[in-house]
Homo-oligomer: A and B are copies of this chain.
């Protein structure tokens, strides 16, 4: 190891302080370029925007000068003029450290990737905002949209009767939803904003049908609370499939839980201690399913024919579990793209052709579900 290893700071803060360069506050402005070019501000502004009323030669001269000075137009000044910021915001709970709910939620990254990609191609910036809860929840939207930090916002983690919607409508703040929520309102033509989501109900139904098709009759559903739409919808899909197959719904088999691996683990331990445990488990998410499978293993129960497990999400990890996990894959990237497209349409004032998008999750059958 060199004498100055990574653990030994090379210089004290004081020395750095003397070195820390002044902030580069004096960036060239249009006025500066105008002065140097011997023309008026307005001429520079027009030349930089390739306005044909400025002759080609002058345009070129000014553009060269701007490039040479490393000129970049000031976003705030532009925004102020246009009453637009060309920025969209994503508000997410998964960023909250305290709840811990979404800690390392692989979802958010995929969603963000889709959003960032699509936003970039529409020349929009993306602002990332933590959701607040309780009293301060709406204040976030007021600050971001009322204060013009962003032109529009993408809402996530929707709840039934989500009071954010009424608020946003009342103020006519442009937004789109990740997750449907305002169905009744929309039915009554009261809620005009678009939404997109993966069809959780249908996915859970298909997954449950898959288990039923394999011969399972005692199927437990683990996970989720009663707060968010995605939780409720997946549970509803589960019940729907049972009903269609004329299987009785046993409330003891439909078990609320948190969303961590640990929750899946502990609940499965309990389940397996029953006199007549279920032969299959639908875990509300892949993360939960990981805990379920581990608990089975620890209890000496082999996951497969006698004890099948299905998840929901389609994390890349699933195919590397033991056994590989059957799941419903969500096209999250795609959702992100679509949300941005919808929001851009709202901001342009041109309604999207199809304002309500349901993407279908894809059933991926692997070895964790087998015929009973």
Contact = CB atoms under 8 A, between A and B. Distances in A.
A290 interface: yes
Task: Please tell me how many copies of the chain the complex holds.
Answer: 2
Given A117-B130, A149-B125, A186-B11, A104 B316 contact: yes
Contacts of A161: none
Nearest to A151: B23
A322 interface: yes
B146 A70 contact: yes
A128 B88 CA distance: 11
Given A9-B356, A75-B147, A265-B320, A113 B125 contact: no
Contacts of A349: 20, 22-23
Given A75-B149, A76-B79, A105-B109, A180 B6 contact: yes
Interface string A98-130: 000011111111101110110010000111111
Interface of A: 1, 4, 6-7, 9-11, 13-17, 19-25, 27, 70-77, 79-80, 83, 85, 87, 94-97, 102-110, 112-114, 116-117, 120, 125-130, 142-143, 146-149, 169, 171-174, 180, 183, 186-187, 189, 192-194, 199, 201-202, 240, 260-261, 265, 287, 290-291, 293-294, 297, 315-317, 319-320, 322, 333, 346-347, 349-356, 358
18 contacts: A4-B187, A7-B199, A10-B183, A13-B355, A16-B194, A16-B352, A21-B172, A22-B172, A24-B173, A75-B76, A94-B109, A95-B112, A108-B109, A112-B128, A116-B129, A120-B130, A127-B127, A261-B319
